[in-house]
Structure 1
């Protein structure tokens, strides 16, 4: 069994998943911040519109959650910059896990099942 991903490892892995999705969908990624206490994680542009993307990642069976305090802070920041806010919730499972418990422990450098349903508008 390999090294279990830390929360920081999971967070950065989720950012990479979302980054690739943005590029694949025609976004120009302008900045990426992987620090846990910095929001938004990704600043992107598409068709002259700015996007602030908050990424949250969790291990199976959980999904990343956007807390109301982060949503309100990013929304205020986005208003000043005329940016559109989006939330990316990512779930990561250990693809080699044979039990629910093992699937909930993704390993660094391992194989994964990724649950990501795209960018979602911020809750109003």
Structure 2
């Protein structure tokens, strides 16, 4: 793979957020705010049809998908309930499209080409 730089955790996270943001805009959501920090939840605040949405985005590298941890879900759900918001989770998986092996595919590089695994917004699970 040469001298390419692998995406940092922050860059990977932000790439996942951009995937979800574009999908939401395409589906008619009005995005009010985006937070790209790893330790801030939710990442996306949006409205659609007079309803408020909180979206937690998690991104992982091939072959994994982003995971929503129960304590994060509980925090965001509590905050969402206060603001009468519907809470969604967006799981994103990113692979290096130029990787020839599983190991190379698991290392997306800066300014590279990617395969994106994203199945849309999912309502928060109930625990």
2:113 aligns with one of 95, 111, 114 = 111
Structure 2 match to 1:120: 122
Give the whole-Å Cα distance in 1 for the aligned partners of 2:5 and 2:50. Answer: 42
**Residue correspondences, number:** 124
- CA shift, 1:114, in A, is 0.1
| Structure 1 residue ranges without an equivalent (≥5) | none
1:112 Cα offset (Å) = 0.2
Q: Which runs of 5+ in 2 are unaligned?
A: none
**2:8 corresponds to:** 6
TM-score computed with the length of structure 1 as normaliser: 0.99
Deviation for aligned residue 1:27: 0.2
> After TM superposition, which residue ranges in structure 1, 4 or more long, deviate above 3 angstroms?
none
In structure 2, the partner of 1:22 is 24
For normalisation by structure 2, the TM-score amounts to: 0.97
Q: 1:32 aligns with which of 15, 31, 34?
A: 34
